[in-house]
Structure 1
């Protein structure tokens, strides 16, 4: 029996990058996957790829700040419940000195990176309570050690780490486990603004990370093997130092 046989898994921002890699991993281990993204073409392409690999999946266009109810309703209609929620969607709307950010850009980062995952979990809570579900927030190494020119983004990821701690304890009585991962520099479109050569030069492992580097620990944290782990954040950063 595969670890996630017939488990219903929502992965936000999962048409590409880390989200897609996590969706594929959970699907390879038997999960029924809901792909979501703001772009219909990207959703369709991701679903087609996973289905071609024999993975049970469907997809829906979803802006996590606006379409949370739609995402939950679509998932329940397609697969009957929710077992695993991966909150991966995030934005970085400002690159440069923090004091140069506009209020609009600040609000958008807080809305997508902190508010949206919180309220998506709240929306899914009745189903997660029934299934004794698993929740993963995708935070960042920046939540421990702020990335240069990404001060406000880093702050939002620190908030996710704190949220993981508080919700891990709060929801433990409902048998819902809440954990996070904190990737370092991962080769995705999201990280294009960061120099790959500089990341390789400064990382103790001597390489940049890849989306697949994040999938094994997510699968472990969502499995019964991690039944006594909640409220924790696992750094995936090739030895880069993390402090808070």
Structure 2
């Protein structure tokens, strides 16, 4: 039976690092979800395969329930000997701006991707995990979802809701050996933070630097492993000491 890990938003940044780490450290077949950047997804696949791992790409918008179900059903029918043991809900977008000027779609699109995306993907697989009596669900949240960030009321709301959902779902499924945890990164070097003033921001980071995507991936890989079986419902911060 082929054991798989699905990483949403897995083509770039933290998601890419997670895909590579899960393949290398835990030998999972990786399902790399992406929405539009096929070349980046294929590059992640190539990097995994070059290290001796296996992966495939799946294009769907996690915010679209119908599309998500259609693609995952097709994959499931074509891979009836495969089982998804690990879900990393990493897909997320930002539409930053002050709340008083925030447009309805800037609110809705951020909520749809992070929060509804979690529902659309996780709900699809949760019954299989419960039947198999094994699963690792890891939700990528943010320091914004734990302490709130001005200019990111929409993103903070989406990730904060995901924090609460993590704690609730963990209690529902723990008896079936399915764990649900969240990882809350601070400032990590990715495309998403490339435009930020790093020299200015490190003044508020006790570790005096931005984190690396690989450091986040190491934590996710631990939570996805058998070693973390007694950890569930936790929100683990990885932010260089920023208060959260």
Please indicate, yes or no, whether the TM-score normalized by the shorter chain is above 0.5: yes
1:193 shift after superposition: 4.2
Q: 1:210 aligns with which of 203, 212, 221?
A: 212
Q: Provide the C-alpha distance between the structure 1 equivalents of 2:129 and 2:187, rounded to a whole number of angstroms.
A: 31
Q: Provide the C-alpha distance between the structure 2 equivalents of 1:112 and 1:193, rounded to a whole number of angstroms.
A: 22
Q: Provide the C-alpha distance between the structure 2 equivalents of 1:141 and 1:102, rounded to a whole number of angstroms.
A: 23
Is the 2:177–2:229 contact (alpha carbons within 8 Å) kept by the matching residues of 1? no
* SS at 2:231 equivalent: coil
Q: Which residue of 2 aligns with 1:10?
A: 6
Q: What does 1:113-128 correspond to in 2, within 5 Å?
A: 113-128=114-129
Are 2:73 and 1:73 aligned? Answer: yes
Q: 2:20 aligns with which of 17, 24, 35?
A: 24
Which runs of no fewer than 5 residues in structure 2 stay unpaired?
A: none
Q: What does 1:14-163 correspond to in 2, within 5 Å?
A: 14-29=10-25, 30-38=27-35, 39-66=37-64, 67-73=67-73, 75-76=75-76, 77-78=78-79, 80-93=82-95, 95-131=96-132, 132-163=134-165
**Inter-CA distance 185–133: structure 2 relative to 1 (3 Å threshold):** same
Which runs of no fewer than 5 residues in structure 1 stay unpaired?
A: none
Q: Which residue of 2 aligns with 1:169?
A: 171
CA RMSD of aligned residues (A): 1.7
Q: Provide the C-alpha distance between the structure 2 equivalents of 1:87 and 1:213, rounded to a whole number of angstroms.
A: 17
Q: Which residue of 2 aligns with 1:219?
A: 221
Q: Provide the C-alpha distance between the structure 1 equivalents of 2:91 and 2:189, rounded to a whole number of angstroms.
A: 16
Q: Provide the C-alpha distance between the structure 2 equivalents of 1:223 and 1:197, rounded to a whole number of angstroms.
A: 35
**Inter-CA distance 144–20: structure 2 relative to 1 (3 Å threshold):** same
1:203 shift after superposition: 0.6
1:6 shift after superposition: 5.4
1:199 shift after superposition: 2.3
What is the TM-score with the length of structure 2 in the denominator?
0.91
1:184 shift after superposition: 0.2
* SS at 2:147 equivalent: coil
Q: Provide the C-alpha distance between the structure 2 equivalents of 1:12 and 1:101, rounded to a whole number of angstroms.
A: 26
Is the 2:8–2:91 contact (alpha carbons within 8 Å) kept by the matching residues of 1? yes
